[in-house]
Structure 1
Amino acid sequence: MTIDPKVAVTVAAAFLAYRLYSAWTSRTMDAGRPPHEPTVADVLVAKAMLTKALTLPPEIVDTIVDLAEYWPHTTTELNDSTVVARGNTQMGTSPRAENLFLLRSPPLGLHNWKRVSRATDSPVDRTVLKPQPPGEEFSANDFQELIASPIPLLAHPCRRIVFTIRSHDQGFGNVIGDRGTYNGSWTWFEAGLERWCKSSPAQTSPAGQEPQQHQHPSLSLENLCTVFPEVEWDSQVQQDYIFNHPLNPRDDLKVQCNVTAERATVVHRVVWSYTDDINPERDVKAAAKLAEQGRGKATGDGKFVRDLRLGDIVTLWAKARFPLWANFVESVRMDVYYAV
């Protein structure tokens, strides 16, 4: 059996890049320093070096960089303590107090979005949006001019999301056997998604007939549409669009729940990767293990990460249900990694 020399070079280069990066990261961590986190410029330089040294086509270089997990990322943090509960007097007694928006990531892949957006919202990552359902969507090409990169980005560039959550519940519960486990927990965190669209049913023309059309992404928060949680029209009370927060956690969006009836703060680090492949219908045991860890059993298939589009924004919501249940949030952090 003969081996194609190009295939051999590609495999060797990919393996070499992966081993070198892994070894460097290990040495850095052993020395007590945080691992190297590449910038966009670092990744572009590494690609140029691989291309020139090995005379490889761009798609092979992309594969090498992906295998080495050499990706830039954005970080969004919230370090203010807050309580999510129906009875929280600071938030009112409305059931809406059971669903609290925490923070949003920068738009995926748009490195210089704040400069081009002329955003005046402060703070951008904490501003609560008016509910707007999505309409006609922009293509990846509509965002390319906003990217600080000499090469176009992928339409679906996200590779990994890391959620770091410090929290606990009220410290007591009705079912004694659930205490210290993730069973019967009614305080949790859920991922959301925002996206700029060409139009939204909530953005009507002055005559109130047709949605206004945007020719280019405005990058203004007021024009963001919310994909998750879903937005619906409330014809009974509000006569306006509202966020639809179901009673139960969504298995495909539930990031993490608190340890049941445990007052001590627990730190959870949850990783969603584009290579995750746990299908909850085919691999019931693996999905059940995710649930045992406090995650949504349908969050292990990688779909949320793979489906994220250029310009998308990841959000995080804190939840609590029923009287006396309270979600004590001490800090949250989102790290979003993407390919360039």
Structure 2
Amino acid sequence: MAVDIDQRIITRLVTLGAFFLAYYAYYSYPTLPSRKISSGNAVYDPSVVDVLVVKAMLKKALSLPPEIIDSIVDLAEYWPHTTSEVSFEPPMTACGGLGRKENMFLLRSPPLGLHTWRRVSHRTNDPKPVDRAPLKPQPPGEEFSADDFQALIASPIPLLAHPCRRIVFTFKSHDQGWGGLPNDRGTYFGSWTWFEAGLERWCKTNPAQTDSATQQAQQAPQPSLKLDDLCTVLPEVEQGPNSHGYAYNHTLHPREDLKIQCNLTAEKQSKVHRVVWSYVDDIDPERDVEAAERLAEQGRGKATGNAKFVRDLKLGDIVTIWAKARFGNWRNAVEWVKMEVFYAV
């Protein structure tokens, strides 16, 4: 028989449970591997198995419904995550006014939720690791469902169709060190060097096959997890010149919903920027104009504070990072990039 629980009691249970879970995670395991955060405190990084064990303990000890346990885990931010990073020596440089060099692919995450993904590529002779290898433009077709990915995950229980909870981007970069309007120098205004997020996804069909019978015959039964089979959702892919192949449609101006961070204008010294996109962000650029403007003052896109990108990510999705530069003499010099993707189990 279902038992009705007062909403106030639920809130207290979730808060109390999250407190004990946070204590359990941060202080009970000093001998386990940890990472360092800016304050210097050790923070334990849970694995998928760790999260499942804690949820089983909460269920057994408190006899709570699964949805309350999930809320406790989310409130305590007890999530597994993947990390991708790359350093460039000399710096990777996106160059404004030089065609293909205006938009430089930098990095991709492992598929969301597929923590044990084995990175496989058809291009075995490619010297670049698959998290840094650019792809040929290929538009998305019919998508796989979340169920199609469940057999490929590292969890004995199904994952959510939209499991992403947070993405942390970190950059060390600078522009050419001069130019721009005098009043913009040293600020994030008037900057024409920036970073944008992208999205890749495996699909059942390839829209390049115009014949429906051919598409059906070539429909993939499950995601191949091979690099060359990925389709690009963002940036958009369009028919190339003279209907030969496909090309990326990189917009001239930054996309306010995808712009992660721009460089300080006319500053030749590299600066480290750390940008967090969370599933609980709640800045609607149309409703809260002042808050959106504050994002712009920090060098972010005005429409990146509404959680849409994070909440819309699907199981198996891959997040990418692109370096951008526009107009002659503008240079985006990239020394280091890191991306951490946190997801619920």
Same fold (TM over 0.5): yes
Q: Report the residue type matching 2:260 in the other structure.
A: V
1:209–1:108 CA distance, 2 compared to 1 (3 A)? closer
Where does residue 44 of structure 1 map in the other structure?
A: 52
1:104–1:203 CA distance, 2 compared to 1 (3 A)? farther
Shift of 1:111: 2.0
Where does residue 91 of structure 1 map in the other structure?
A: none
RMSD between aligned residues: 2.6
Shift of 1:14: 1.8
Could you tell me how far apart the structure 1 residues matched to 2:267 and 2:135 are?
32
Q: How does 1:72-87 map to 2 (within 5 A)?
A: 72-80=80-88, 81-86=91-96
Shift of 1:30: 10
Could you tell me how far apart the structure 1 residues matched to 2:73 and 2:144 are?
28
Where does residue 101 of structure 2 map in the other structure?
A: 97
Deviation string, structure 1 residues 198-254 (Cα, Å, up to 9, x no partner) = 11213567x978783111111111110000000000234x72200011110000000
Deviation string, structure 1 residues 261-295 (Cα, Å, up to 9, x no partner) = 01111111000001111111111111111011100
Could you tell me how far apart the structure 1 residues matched to 2:39 and 2:293 are?
37
Mind listing any 5+ residue stretches in structure 2 that lack a counterpart? 31-36
Aligned residues with identical type, % of pairs: 64
Q: Report the residue type matching 1:49 in the other structure.
A: M
1:219 paired with 2:229, answer: no
Where does residue 34 of structure 2 map in the other structure?
A: none
Could you tell me how far apart the structure 1 residues matched to 2:340 and 2:258 are?
16
Could you tell me how far apart the structure 2 residues matched to 1:297 and 1:39 are?
34
Could you tell me how far apart the structure 2 residues matched to 1:255 and 1:13 are?
36
Where does residue 59 of structure 1 map in the other structure?
A: 67
Which is further off, 37-46 or 186-195?
A: 37-46
With the length of structure 1 as denominator, give the TM-score of the two structures: 0.90
1:263–1:143 CA distance, 2 compared to 1 (3 A)? same
With the length of structure 2 as denominator, give the TM-score of the two structures: 0.89
Q: How does 1:160-239 map to 2 (within 5 A)?
A: 160-202=166-208, 212-236=218-242, 239=244
Q: SS of 1:151's equivalent?
A: coil
Where does residue 13 of structure 1 map in the other structure?
A: 13
Q: SS of 1:113's equivalent?
A: coil
Could you tell me how far apart the structure 1 residues matched to 2:214 and 2:149 are?
29
Deviation string, structure 1 residues 15-55 (Cα, Å, up to 9, x no partner) = 12332355577778799443111111110110010000001
Q: How does 1:1-340 map to 2 (within 5 A)?
A: 10-22=10-22, 32-80=40-88, 81-86=91-96, 94-114=98-118, 120=124, 122-202=128-208, 212-236=218-242, 239-340=244-345
Shift of 1:143: 0.4
Could you tell me how far apart the structure 2 residues matched to 1:292 and 1:54 are?
46
Deviation string, structure 1 residues 45-100 (Cα, Å, up to 9, x no partner) = 1001000000112222111101111000000001112111147xxxxxx4110100
Could you tell me how far apart the structure 2 residues matched to 1:191 and 1:124 are?
17
Shift of 1:7: 5.2
Q: How many residues align?
A: 330
Could you tell me how far apart the structure 1 residues matched to 2:159 and 2:209 are?
29
Q: Report the residue type matching 1:99 in the other structure.
A: N
Could you tell me how far apart the structure 2 residues matched to 1:128 and 1:144 are?
27
The answer on whether the counterparts of 2:82 and 2:115 sit within 8 Å (CA) in structure 1 is: no
1:51–1:9 CA distance, 2 compared to 1 (3 A)? farther
1:9–1:100 CA distance, 2 compared to 1 (3 A)? same
Mind listing any 5+ residue stretches in structure 1 that lack a counterpart? 88-93
1:293–1:30 CA distance, 2 compared to 1 (3 A)? closer
The answer on whether the counterparts of 1:180 and 1:262 sit within 8 Å (CA) in structure 2 is: yes
